[in-house]
Amino acid sequence: MKRTTLTHSSQASSRIWATLLAAALLAGPALAAPSVAAEPSPAPAAPAAPAGSTTTPAPGVTTSAATTPTATPSVTSAAKPSTAPAPAPTPAPTPAAAQAAQPAQTTTAAPDPNSPADRAAMATAVGPGGAAMGQDPAGKAARASTQSLTAQAAWSPSFGVLGLDVSSHQPTMDWQREWNRGARFAYVKASEGNYFTNPLFDSQYQGSRSVGMIRGAYHFAIPNWSSGANQARYFVANGGGWSADGYTMPPVLDFEFNPYAGRTINGFKFGNTCYDMTPAQLRSWVRDFGDTMVGLTGRLPVIYTNTNWWNYCLGTAPGFGDYPLWVAAYPGAATDNAGPVPSSWATYSIWQYSSTGPFPGDSNIWNGNYESLRTFAGAASPVGSLDGVSVTRSGSDTSLQATGWAVDRSAPSSAIPAHVYVTDPSGTTTGYAWTANKSRPDVDQAFGYGAAHGFDGTIKITASGTYKVCAHAIGKFENTSLGCKTVQASGVEAKPAQLPVGSYDSLSLRLVPNSARLVVTGWALDPSKSSASIPVHVYVRSSNGGNPGYAFTANKPRADVNSVLGSTGNHGFSASVPIGGAGSYTVCAYAISVAPVPLGNPSLGCSTIAVPSTPATMGYLDSATLRTSAGKTSITVTGWTLDPVFPAVSIPDHVYVTYPDGTRRGFAFTAGLKRPDVNSALATVGNHGFVSSVPVTQRGQYEVCAYGVAASPLSAANSLLGCRSLTY
């Protein structure tokens, strides 16, 4: 997050929350073609326990195994970073370099981490601001001497969402300026060990939020000072909380190079770069911190670290893939590659790519789009829906079918379990574990979670009666009820029903003023309930690709059908469906079963009809004049218009006026005045004349145009009757 006068390394680690936002992260270019950022030359093997501490824990560190987080659903691994070549990295120090000799210091009595006085003294002793993210006593000077700082400050990765991190080492922040420069999230140092809090935390935390940024807090760990649980509680008490509000980032554990390596401060020996702790002790400390954070906030913390330091001090440390990863790696030239990540992770959520700009403090990139960042901030509990429960039959088997979707917002790329509970008519409840991994593109389109979150399963039943079906989404931290539905199953013990029967008799066009419809006729009945009038569904496929459906009921008398089949009731249908214009239409009809357990809804047939366009409207703009009456001036247009398909109908005339200032307005009138001359000349009937007036006030040149608007929806055009120019 930010530099102090202490020197600083050129690395920080990378990772992704193994169950978090892989789908959104896959959108980031960095996942497609990772390159190599500045990383120390081959790291030495993980060190043996420091002399004198083979089995003895460092101060305040518990040696018992930490509680493992609650098991979570399996997830699909994100893409592994590739080894594609990238700009030559700047040499950076190995962790061992951070253990360079420090000036000898006077030894005093070791302080008590639980003593308020000793904690206050330590906060004063470490200096203003304390440690800051990315510190390495040897690394900063080495990097500054070999790496172009101006190159770092001049570029940002070409993908993702920009952000920054700060501490009290940035006492003056212009948050609006950083927002205007593209930063959309910020992390602020809250605490260090259990002795230091950022005096500027409130102003920085709220200041970043006040301009619209998503923000969060980080804690600089000093693992040999006190336990992970102790420092987690201190962090949460001093700004490290989290809420699912969509603008609070998960808390961060800054776990990296010992910023005080080799030093004794106030009688406390800070130890080497690994805090004089073994890999097992450090791993246990992280789990202790993480478990406590989950208990206090409901979220695992993000781990900020350096790949080389992590591998050196913690070894191949498995089991941290559930923690989101923040990697710090500073390339010597512009690249979209953050380099390798520790073995627990496949990729990273955040990359700290520069400590020298473009933003104050450190510059970062979120590995995804803005919506995925908001999801990351607001992810709390799984979401989903139990969409439907129905009774289905296949041969002699009857089943319940349940459909829906479920997604854990903290890991939207991963398929999670959906547990379905069925209570049968006897009151017995049985649970079924499914996986919500079926394609649901509608869910992806609506929420952006990815498409593979649907569930669609069947459960065989053997008795008729009422069934209650409930579903639950099983998430990482909690489970969410998706609701319950009841369904009545009848005839389960009976033989399978018969399919409905029927006939598609005819298809025709019905054209009236302002309406064009297709009429399909026929009959349909279900032998299982031969006296019932059953539904008929009609689908109309047009040449433009549309295929709307319409529901009707076959309830018209058909004595001929009853006579032939020996049935009773009404089973005929005459379905009228609207169309929007001329073209080719294919109309299909289906008989819908009303059996207790239907076998299906058979097609009654399809028919295609070509609907031609009708002639365009006719007419003429006889005149356009300016008339003044009682001090008010109007443009008056006269003429006539008719639709040859419906000659007795008076149709609209639309008048459009272009004003001297260039604006254009339309006015609707009706050509309903008598024009015997028109009727005589065209041998037609009805009233088709118009005298339409539009008030005007501007001086200057006007253009007036009139159109005849057809009564037939199939008309080829609404004809232009003419235009006139007038000067007022």
Question: Which residues does the annotation mark as catalytic?
Answer: 165, 254, 256
Q: Residue 131: which of 217, 248, 6 has the closest Cα?
A: 6
Paired sense of beta strands 479-489 and 583-591, if any: unpaired
Question: Which SS3 state, helix, strand or coil, does residue 247 take?
Answer: coil
Q: Phi first, then psi: what are they for 395, rounded to 5°?
A: 65, -125
CA–CA dist 198, 114 (Å, integer): 20
Please tell me what DSSP assigns to residue 406: E
Q: Phi first, then psi: what are they for 179, rounded to 5°?
A: -65, -45
In sequence order, which residues have a C-beta less than 8 Å from that of residue 244 and are 6 or more positions away?
298, 378, 379, 380, 381
CA–CA dist 204, 169 (Å, integer): 11
Beta strands, E only, 342-396: 350-354, 362-366, 383-394
Q: Which residue type is seen at 198? A: N
Instruction: Identify the residue whose tokens are 């969409």.
Output: 387
CA–CA dist 313, 577 (Å, integer): 74
In angstroms and rounded to an integer, the radius of gyration of the C-alpha atoms of the chain is: 38
Question: Which SS3 state, helix, strand or coil, does residue 57 take?
Answer: coil
Nearest-5° angle of CA 608, CA 610, CA 615?
160
Q: Residue 462: which of 487, 429, 489 has the closest Cα?
A: 489
Residue-level length of the chain: 728
- Report the half-sphere exposure of 516 (CA within 13 A, side-chain side): 20
CA–CA dist 721, 278 (Å, integer): 93
Provide the greatest CA pair distance for the chain. 121
Nearest-5° angle of CA 441, CA 443, CA 447?
125
Question: Which SS3 state, helix, strand or coil, does residue 706 take?
Answer: strand
| Cα 585 to the center of its chain, rounded Å | 38
- HEC string of 98-136 equals HHCCCCCCCCCCCCCCCCHHHHHHHHHHCCCCCCCCCEC
Contact 276, 53 (CB under 8 A): yes
CA–CA dist 502, 508 (Å, integer): 19
Provide the sign of the torsion angle of the four alpha carbons 146, 364, 42, 280, taken in this order: positive
Q: Which helix (H) or strand (E) holds 352?
A: strand 350-354
CA–CA dist 545, 528 (Å, integer): 36
Cis peptide upstream of residue 340 (ω within 30 degrees of 0): no
Please tell me what DSSP assigns to residue 43: P
Reported for 544-549, long-range contacts at CB under 8 A and 24+ positions apart, including other chains, are: 544/583, 548/577
Q: Residue 274: which of 229, 302, 315 has the closest Cα?
A: 315
Q: Which residue type is seen at 339? A: G
Please tell me what DSSP assigns to residue 153: H
